[in-house]
Chain A
């Protein structure tokens, strides 16, 4: 059973109207795109909750965050 509160990043494979086919860990799902503010493109990662994509997961922002750590803490991460 999947807890309702979990929001999981999934990769977008295909978009059709307000639905997208997404995959995570080898399993595929169809999710709705009604509430996402920035419409995703194929290849993007989206955070999915209760069958709806909520937001895009920003790869560049993730890299930027890690770079900040590298500079601040002197560790090589990216």
Chain B
């Protein structure tokens, strides 16, 4: 048996579950903010095994889902220009104004190419020296260093026809915004494993020190998730509220300083728009002036525009954890994975898509 299979061990899961339910005092409302946690909690069946007192709130953890309507409109605007657009596949079907998508723009003749890595986008730029090639930069701290590194290589190799439309977002400022929401009443945070592999544990300390909330960096196997829930319970019972790294096989407390340094060399923080939440100060990344030649907003002279929200779509409330996906009037009717209305149903990591696929 693979060593890492032990993190799925059914006996261990049962033992942890029993302890959580035996020792829990009152209600535990925990939020995860990572698409991979969302999918894992549903797929593994963990959600169905939790008692009513353990409430799972699925927060803004899917980068595609939190991309704002104005940003989606910018992708589509760019697709109308004389350029090759390169993107992660997840963005292809995200609906923008008038239900247009990158996929429909592609069908109408726009040159949109799906890549797995920003580095593949750079290769497309090298292979097409007479075209401008733009990479659509979405994602959290996990993705931003890869894109920053690609921009650095572009400059080192003198590739001048490559740029990035940069809408990266940062997790800790979003958590800070959600903690302050009285409707949500989040009591604990399951912190994203791979974002934390980059930024480490320090940026989350404010959750315990300022807000008195326990938080655990957790892996993605059922045992990881149950272990984190059990840690919330014991921290609360013992009155020792803290931010703890329980995913040490991947995450070191200090994170990945090299990746952070590359990210900070190319990007600086800025205010950013989140779907459903709105403007969060300091929660985005923008390209520094030193790398302005690689900033698609500046290369193409673009600005974010106000656009109407998608009619009837409640993705905003789902992303904040205020509405469970099946409570949305469109869920499973007008909005399905085959014909999605909102981004939470488009992305395989979106709460609505996960709920649709694994609902019991």
Q: Which residues of A contact B (CB under 8 A)?
A: 1-7, 9, 31-32, 34-37, 47, 49-52, 54-55, 57-59, 61-66, 69, 73, 75, 77-78
Contacts and interface: CB of A to CB of B under 8 A. Distances in A.
Given A49-B142, A75-B15, 5 more contacts: A1-B114, A51-B146, A63-B3, A73-B15, A75-B9
Contact of B262 (A1, A4, A34, A77): A34
A4 B194 CA distance: 12
A6 to B, nearest CB: 6
Contact of B258 (A4, A35, A73, A77): A35
B349 A3 contact: yes
B90 A37 contact: no
Contacts of B140: 5
Given A5-B35, A7-B194, A50 B257 contact: no
B153 interface: yes
B348 A37 contact: no
A32 B256 CA distance: 15
A31 B139 CA distance: 19
Contacts of B63: 4-5
Interface of B: 3-4, 6-7, 9, 11-12, 15-16, 34-36, 62-64, 88-90, 114, 116-120, 138-140, 142-143, 145-149, 152-153, 193-194, 197-198, 223, 227, 246, 248-252, 256-259, 262, 347-349
B11 to A, nearest CB: 6
B256 A49 contact: no
A54 B9 contact: no
B119 A51 contact: yes
Contacts of B3: 59, 62-63, 66, 78
Nearest to B145: A35
21 contacts: A1-B90, A2-B89, A4-B64, A4-B90, A4-B143, A6-B36, A34-B153, A35-B262, A49-B143, A49-B146, A51-B116, A51-B119, A52-B146, A54-B194, A58-B248, A59-B249, A61-B249, A62-B7, A64-B248, A73-B12, A73-B16
B155 to A, nearest CB: 13
A52 B89 contact: no
Closest 5 CB pairs of A and B: A51-B117, A34-B149, A4-B88, A52-B146, A35-B259
B90 A36 contact: no
A77 B12 contact: yes
A75 B4 CA distance: 16
Given A4-B139, A32-B117, A52-B117, A75 B149 contact: no
Given A5-B35, A7-B142, A77 B6 contact: yes
Contact of A55 (B15, B116, B153, B197): B197
B145 to A, nearest CB: 4
Given A32-B149, A66-B6, A4 B36 contact: no
Nearest to B11: A75
A51 to B, nearest CB: 2
B257 A37 contact: yes
B6 A32 contact: no
Contacts of A3: 35, 90, 347-349
Nearest to B117: A51
